[in-house]
């Protein structure tokens, strides 16, 4: 199969770009730990009231000084509806759904998690700046989807 | 002399497909217009109609119905044009397929309109629509399969009669697209038949949500290549003829289609990067496979501009860019497709961003994504289809694409471009600011959200202005289509529109490119590598399933 000289140059450039892009993404993900939200823990969506940590939704300080936030999403809101976390600390969000698929997306941050019933999604984030952050559901979940939101207040320690 | 076209049975088939396509198009774009007004709180819907019903209709009518019916109309005419008249069996099965597809469409549409299925075109479980919505979807897919097999049968007959010859490029590309479509649909058919239908009719109590999402996206990503490849047929085979040139390289054109079959399917996880239930390793593996489609995309870009430059120089273009001015800009059949290609440059770049693993978190399910598919399927694909429509309908109806209509068509293309630039730029920027997609008007009481109505570009109003221009453009297109179908003057042999097929030198093309068994085999191996373990894991380690919810 004949390849034109310019096409060879063009495709070499393409392949090189591909390898560079993938290396950057891969190193950032697996060496520096920047993987997108995820997790393999399962729960029974009908029985969250007796499944830790969702039996006690809210902010919990852990022994190592970091924070864990357990959130339950259901049409069309979150439990708890308002939380406070300190700035500059590691905050791990654990979210799951009681009914349909939702999302837990904190505007102005890279926390953007799908909330799937039966699955626990996890993401760790450090808030640098204090202030009030808006959380919206960005996965269509029904007629009240556009009202589904909550707030996080990040406070100076 | 009277005008010529393809034989009557194929004309009727193709025109029926195109008629349904454009009916869906006008209703779908009207829904789009309503949406941008609702999002600005400028329109109140009557009580029996809901934003999410309209949104579902907009997505289904434009992304599924318009595209699919158009594609089959285009394939049927092109296969008849390049391989010769259909036999009676091919005609019969094409009709059977068309009727099944249309029945499924009507069923799903009735369910959406009656508010029984406001689940959007992704129909994510455990939202549960009326069972007949899923039956409609299944019929839709089965109908397209019947049409696909009928076309493949026509191709096989041709190959038997022309042993040792390479098939015409149009037919080859059609078969490649059909193969892609059939393999891709296996995922959604499995989900609908074995998960959704038994669950929605109450034969099964619960559904494995994560599995259904993964099966959907196994289908959902190659679906976009099913839209794109027919547009690429327009770019590779038709545009060179319109400007008076030839196909740049027959073998590269065929190779790029093979690469699309291989690398468009085992990549669905890049739509699920931010969700639980799939280990990071598998998400990353599919990210790598996703990036491979950059290769055939770059090959296509090269081929296109090589054809343009070669032809421009033949026409006397001098210097580095002199050839560019020599291209037939006044010919809307060319200009439309050229603009479509330009839109695909930011469209493709945005796609790379979306698929870039952790970078996906920045834009996932924000308005950015909406902006993205409006400058991929909404313009490169749709505008290529418009460009094809301008000659395909008069070719089939034996009418004249008059000068006056050509001027209107240019206006249509330009207004579509302007509307789309405004709307999609606003959507991209708003998405970066975190504005979610798929929402009716909201007053989230927060300064970040209030800012989504304040910028110049980053404003819901800009989106609405773009959307309104787009609807005007869509109406203009429908006017042109109606004229070409029923009212334009009948053609004579001198004024007859032709079906442009560029010459493609296949003498050097390696025969292995047409050995479908090999490529289907490689595709299945890649799919098995990318999906077997994570899907087995979803089934084995499934959480208790979900019952159905009706939250609308």
Q: Which two tokens stand for residue B421?
A: 């630039």
The count of CB pairs under 8 A between chains A and B is: 228
Res B1: pLDDT? 43
Q: What is the mean pLDDT of residues B478-493?
A: 94
d(CA B101, CA B376): 25
Asked whether residue A2 carries a pLDDT value surpassing 50, the answer given is yes
Asked whether residue B176 carries a pLDDT value surpassing 70, the answer given is yes
For residue B271, which residues of chain A lie inside 8 Å, CB to CB? none
Question: How many Å lie between the alpha carbon of A1 and the closest alpha carbon of chain B?
Answer: 7
Residue span of the structural domain in which B497 resides: 328-509
Confidence of residue B84 (pLDDT cuts 50, 70, 90): very high
Res B105: pLDDT? 95
% of chain B beyond a pLDDT of 70: 99
Q: What is the mean pLDDT of residues B200-205?
A: 95
In a domain, B140, yes or no: yes
Res B3: pLDDT? 61
d(CA B268, CA B277): 14
Confidence of residue B508 (pLDDT cuts 50, 70, 90): confident
Residue B48's φ and ψ, nearest 5 degrees, are -80, 0
Q: Test A137 with B436 for CB contact under 8 angstroms.
A: yes
- Tens of pLDDT, residue by residue over B248-274, are 999 999 999 999 999 999 999 999 999
Q: What is the mean pLDDT of residues A51-79?
A: 94
- Tens of pLDDT, residue by residue over A68-118, are 999 999 999 999 999 999 999 999 999 999 999 999 999 999 999 999 999
What's the length of chain A? 157
Q: Which residues of B are catalytic?
A: 221, 225, 372-374, 437-438
Residues B150-188 as b or e (16 or more Cβ within 10 Å = b): bbbbbbebbbeeeeeebbbbbbbbbbbbbbbbbbbbebb
- The shortest CB-CB distance from B209 to any of A6, A101, A136 is to A101
Sheet of A82-86: strand order equals A82-86, A149-155, A131-136, A102-106, A112-115
d(CA B300, CA B337): 14
Q: Which two tokens stand for residue B479?
A: 């006017």
Query: What is the predicted ipTM?
Result: 0.94
CATH class of the region A45-155: mainly beta
Domain boundary residue among B99, B126, B160? B160
Q: Test A45 with B546 for CB contact under 8 angstroms.
A: yes
- Tens of pLDDT, residue by residue over B313-349, are 999 989 899 999 999 999 999 999 999 999 999 999 9
Q: What is the mean pLDDT of residues B474-503?
A: 93
In a domain, B46, yes or no: yes
In a domain, B482, yes or no: yes
Query: Do B279 and B344 contact (CB within 8 A), yes or no?
Result: no
In a domain, B347, yes or no: yes
The CATH number linked to B356 is: 1.20.210.10
In a domain, B194, yes or no: no
DSSP string, B208-229: -HHHHHHHHHHHHHHHHHHHHH
Q: What is the mean pLDDT of residues B387-415?
A: 96
Asked whether residue B2 carries a pLDDT value surpassing 70, the answer given is no
Asked whether residue B443 carries a pLDDT value surpassing 80, the answer given is no
What's the length of chain B? 552
B38 sits in which H/E element: helix B8-39
Query: Do B133 and B108 contact (CB within 8 A), yes or no?
Result: yes
Asked whether residue B224 carries a pLDDT value surpassing 50, the answer given is yes
Pairing verdict, β A58-61 and A67-74? antiparallel
Query: Residue B380's closest CA among B231, B173, B222?
Result: B231
Identify the closest residue of chain B to A100 by CA–CA distance: B126
| β-strand partners of A9 | none
Identify the closest residue of chain B to A36 by CA–CA distance: B358
The CATH number linked to B39 is: 1.20.120
Asked whether residue B4 carries a pLDDT value surpassing 80, the answer given is no
- Tens of pLDDT, residue by residue over B53-76, are 999 999 999 999 999 999 999 999
Domain count, chain B: 2
Query: Do A130 and A154 contact (CB within 8 A), yes or no?
Result: yes
Asked whether residue B457 carries a pLDDT value surpassing 60, the answer given is yes
Q: Which two tokens stand for residue B276?
A: 């639980």
Interface test with A, best of B47, B51, B117, B275 (most A CBs within 10 A): B275
Instruction: Fill in the DSSP letter of residue A18.
Output: H
In a domain, B60, yes or no: yes
Asked whether residue B416 carries a pLDDT value surpassing 80, the answer given is yes
Asked whether residue B474 carries a pLDDT value surpassing 90, the answer given is yes
Mean pLDDT rounded to a whole number for chain B: 93
Asked whether residue B446 carries a pLDDT value surpassing 50, the answer given is yes
% of chain B beyond a pLDDT of 90: 85
- Tens of pLDDT, residue by residue over B530-549, are 999 999 999 999 999 999 99
Asked whether residue B495 carries a pLDDT value surpassing 90, the answer given is no
In a domain, B464, yes or no: yes
**SS3 state at B446:** coil
Residue B316, judged by CB atoms within 10 A of its CB (0-12, 13-18, 19+), counts as exposed
Q: Which two tokens stand for residue B22?
A: 């454009």
Asked whether residue B377 carries a pLDDT value surpassing 70, the answer given is yes
Domain boundaries, chain A: 1-35, 45-155
């Amino acid at each position: 199969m004949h390849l034109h000289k310019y096409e060879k140059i063009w495709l070499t450039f393409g392949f090189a770009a591909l390898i560079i892009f993938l290396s950057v993404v891969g190193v950032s993900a697996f060496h520096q730990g920047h993987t997108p939200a995820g997790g393999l823990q399962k729960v029974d969506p009908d029985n969250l009231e007796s499944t830790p940590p969702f039996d006690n939704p809210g902010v919990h300080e852990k022994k190592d000084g970091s924070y864990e936030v357990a959130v339950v999403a259901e049409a069309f809101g979150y439990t708890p509806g308002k939380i406070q976390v300190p700035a500059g600390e590691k905050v791990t969000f654990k979210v799951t759904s009681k009914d349909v698929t939702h999302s837990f997306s904190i505007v102005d941050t890279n926390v953007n998690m799908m909330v799937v019933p039966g699955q626990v999604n996890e993401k760790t984030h450090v808030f640098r700046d204090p202030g009030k952050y808006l959380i919206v559901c960005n996965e269509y979940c029904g007629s009240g989807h556009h009202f589904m939101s909550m707030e996080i207040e990040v406070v100076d320690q | 002399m009277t005008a010529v076209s393809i034989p009557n049975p194929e004309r009727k088939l193709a025109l029926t497909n195109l008629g349904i396509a454009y009916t869906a198009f006008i209703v779908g774009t009207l829904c789009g217009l309503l949406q941008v007004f609702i999002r600005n709180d400028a329109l109140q819907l009557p009580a029996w109609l809901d934003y999410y019903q309209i949104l579902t209709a907009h997505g289904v009518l434009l992304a599924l119905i318009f595209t699919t019916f158009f594609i089959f109309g285009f394939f049927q005419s092109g296969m008849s044009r390049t391989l010769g008249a259909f036999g009676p069996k091919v005609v019969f099965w094409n009709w059977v397929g068309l009727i099944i597809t249309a029945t499924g469409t009507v069923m799903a549409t009735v369910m959406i309109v009656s508010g029984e299925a406001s689940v959007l075109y992704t129909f994510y479980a455990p939202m549960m629509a009326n069972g007949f919505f899923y039956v409609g979807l299944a019929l839709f897919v089965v109908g397209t399969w019947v049409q696909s097999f009928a076309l493949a049968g026509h191709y096989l007959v041709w190959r038997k009669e022309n042993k040792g010859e390479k098939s015409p490029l149009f037919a080859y590309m059609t078969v490649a697209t059909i193969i892609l479509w059939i393999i891709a649909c296996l995922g959604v058919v499995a989900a609908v038949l074995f998960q959704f239908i038994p669950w929605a009719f109450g034969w099964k109590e619960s559904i494995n949500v994560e599995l259904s999402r993964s099966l959907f996206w196994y289908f959902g990503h190659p679906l976009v290549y099913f839209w794109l490849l027919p547009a690429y047929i327009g770019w590779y085979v038709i545009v060179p003829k319109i400007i008076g040139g030839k196909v740049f390289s027959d073998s590269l054109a065929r190779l790029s289609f093979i690469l699309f079959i291989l690398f468009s399917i085992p990549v669905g996880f890049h739509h699920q990067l931010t969700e639980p239930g799939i280990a990071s390793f598998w998400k990353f593996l599919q990210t790598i496979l996703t990036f491979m489609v950059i290769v055939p995309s770059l090959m296509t870009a090269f081929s296109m501009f090589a054809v343009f430059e070669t032809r421009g120089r033949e026409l006397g273009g001098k210097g580095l860019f002199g050839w560019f001015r020599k291209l037939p800009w006044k010919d809307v059949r060319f200009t439309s497709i050229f603009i479509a290609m330009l839109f695909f440059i930011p469209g493709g770049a945005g796609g790379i961003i979306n698929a870039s693993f952790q970078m996906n978190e920045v834009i996932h399910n924000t308005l950015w994504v909406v902006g993205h598919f409006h400058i991929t399927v909404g313009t490169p694909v749709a505008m290529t289809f418009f460009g094809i429509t301008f000659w395909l309908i008069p070719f089939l109806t034996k009418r004249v694409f008059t000068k006056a209509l050509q001027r209107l068509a240019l206006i249509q293309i330009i207004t579509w471009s302007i509307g789309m630039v405004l709307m999609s730029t606003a959507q991209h920027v708003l998405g970066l600011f975190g504005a979610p997609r798929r929402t009716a008007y909201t007053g989230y009481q927060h300064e970040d959200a209030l800012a989504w109505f304040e910028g110049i570009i980053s404003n819901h109003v800009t989106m609405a202005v773009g959307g309104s221009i787009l609807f005007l453009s869509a109406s203009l297109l429908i006017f042109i289509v109606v004229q070409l179908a029923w009212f334009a003057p009948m053609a004579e042999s001198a004024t007859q529109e032709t079906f442009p097929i560029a010459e493609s030198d296949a003498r050097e093309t390696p025969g292995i490119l047409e050995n479908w068994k090999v490529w289907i085999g490689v595709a299945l191996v890649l799919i098995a590598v990318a999906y077997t373990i994570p899907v087995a894991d979803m089934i084995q380690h499934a959480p208790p399933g979900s019952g159905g919810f009706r939250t609308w």
